[in-house]
Amino acid sequence: MESPARPIRVLLADDHAVVRQGIRQFLEASGEIDVIAEAGDGEEGLRLIRQHLPDVAVLDIQMPLRSGIDVARAVRADRLPVGVLILTAFDDEPYVRAVLQAGANGYVLKTADAQDIVEAVRSVSEGKSVLDPTIARQLIGRFSGEPPLLVETLTERELEVLRLAAHGYTNKAIGVQLSISDRTVQGHLAKVFGKLHAASRTEAVMRAVTQGLIPPVLDTDENT
C-alpha cells in the first residue's frame, strides 16, 4: 500500500487576518496543502520563512515593514530552498516586473478561482513558474504593441531551452530534459536574454511569443 504524499508546506503572509483565514481554508481544503505558519507583515513573514523553510511562501505585495517583493528578494539573496508565490489584487505592470525581477516563482491575482490558486501553489512547489492568465495576456498585448526588434537568430538549442523555460521548468529540469548541465542551460538563457533584449525569463518568453518564435504557452491553463 502506497504511503500518502507529503502535504505541501505553505507559509501565508498577508496583513489582513480575514483574507489569510479565507485563503488558508481553501488551501487546506484541497487535502494536499498544510499552512504551517501565518504572518501579518513582511518582516514576520521573512523571519518565519527562515525558521520553517516552507515549500512555498504565499505573499501579498503590500504589507507593513516589508513588501512581498522585498521578502522575495531576501529569500533569493539568502538562497533559501523556498518557492515564492505572490498572491495579490494588483495587476499593474510595474508590480509584475518588480516581482519577477525579485525572483518570485509566480504571480497570481486574488480574483482567481480557489482551485487555480491551489494549482499555482502545487506548480510552484514542483519548481515551476506560474503567471496569472490575465497578467500573461496583458504582457503579451504590451509586447505585441512594440515595434519589431532586430534580434539575432536563436539557435535550435536556445529555442529548445526557451520553450522549456516557458513551460516553467527550472534550469536543473531543463538540463535533465536536454541531457546538459545546469551551467550550460544558464549560458543558453543568458544568450537568449541578450538576443531578445530581455531582463527576465518572462520577458524573453513574451518577446519570443510576439515574434512567433514559440507558441503562447503562458496563456494556457496548463501553465497557470
Segment 1-31, tens digit of pLDDT? 344 578 999 999 999 999 999 999 999 999 9
Torsional sign, CA 208, 101, 45, 112: negative
Residue 100 backbone phi and psi in degrees, to 5: -65, -40
Whole-model pTM?
Answer: 0.66
Nearest Cα residue to 218 out of 179, 176, 165? 165
| Per-residue confidence band for 140, with pLDDT thresholds at 50, 70 and 90 | low
Q: Which sign, positive or negative, has the C-alpha torsion 195, 78, 184, 172? A: negative
The boundaries of the domain holding residue 61 are: 8-131
Q: What is the pLDDT of residues 30-57, one digit of tens each?
A: 999 999 999 999 999 999 999 999 999 9
pLDDT of residue 123: 87
Point out the domain boundary residue: 131, 151, 175. Answer: 131
- How many whole angstroms separate alpha carbon 106 and alpha carbon 108? 7
If asked whether residues 184 and 110 sit together in one domain, one would say no
Q: Using CA of residue 69, residue 41, residue 46, residue 65, what is the dihedral sign? A: positive
Say what the pLDDT of residue 43 is. 94
Whether residues 117 and 147 fall in one domain: no
Domain final residue pick, 96, 131, 166: 131
Query: What's the number of domains the chain is made of?
Result: 2
- Shared domain for 90 and 149, answered yes or no, is no
User: Look-up: residue for cell 495579490?
Assistant: 88
Is the same domain home to 19 and 92?
Answer: yes
- Residue 139 has a pLDDT of 63
Going by their DSSP bridges, the two strands 8-13 and 106-109 should be labelled as unpaired
| Domain boundary pick from 131, 151, 166 | 131
Pairing of strands 33-39, 106-109: unpaired
Note whether 25 and 99 are same-domain residues. yes
Average pLDDT, the chain: 82
For residue 136, being part of any structural domain is answered with no
